[in-house]
Amino acid sequence: EVQLVESGGGLVQPGGSLRLSCAASGFSFSNYEMNWVRQAPGKGLEWISYITKSGGTIYYADSVKGRFTISRDNAKNSLYLQMNSLRAEDTAVYFCSRGEVPAASFDYWGQGTLVTVSS
């Protein structure tokens, strides 16, 4: 069974940092691109980052570019999101999701982890 489990969320002050993790199981992690998507309270879905199977190609949404860093460790079946210079508007539930081929749709999602940026 495919499972994605996020962790690392919590309360952080503006300007602070947080590292999210996504543990994957039930599939060959190294064969899939991965994504982070977030959802602010009461708002819609916002794609924020994507990483290819090898980690060789990475994209970010403009809203997080220069502040967030996506990475993966295929040996540990894990995806990461390092979030720096956090702002109140980064408050959201953060989901990791698997990118399916060939349509690149997001076929499996984790349950999400809540990040709250507040003083």
Q: Does 35 bind other proteins (CB under 8 A)?
A: yes
The two tokens of residue 104 are 């690149």
Number of residues forming the site for other proteins (CB under 8 A): 23
Within residues 4-33, the interface with other proteins by CB under 8 A covers none
Within residues 69-108, the interface with other proteins by CB under 8 A covers 95, 99-100, 102-107
Q: Does 1 bind other proteins (CB under 8 A)?
A: no
Q: Which is nearer to other proteins, 66 or 119 (CB)?
A: 66
- In whole angstroms, how large is the CA radius of gyration of the chain? 13
Q: What share of the chain is helix, strand, coil (3-state, %, to 5)?
A: 5, 50, 45
Measure Cα distances from 56 to 52, 63, 84, 113 in Å.
6, 21, 22, 26
Q: Does 109 bind other proteins (CB under 8 A)?
A: yes
What's the min distance (Å) between Cβ of 16 and other proteins? 25
d(CA 13, CA 30): 34
What's the min distance (Å) between Cβ of 46 and other proteins? 7
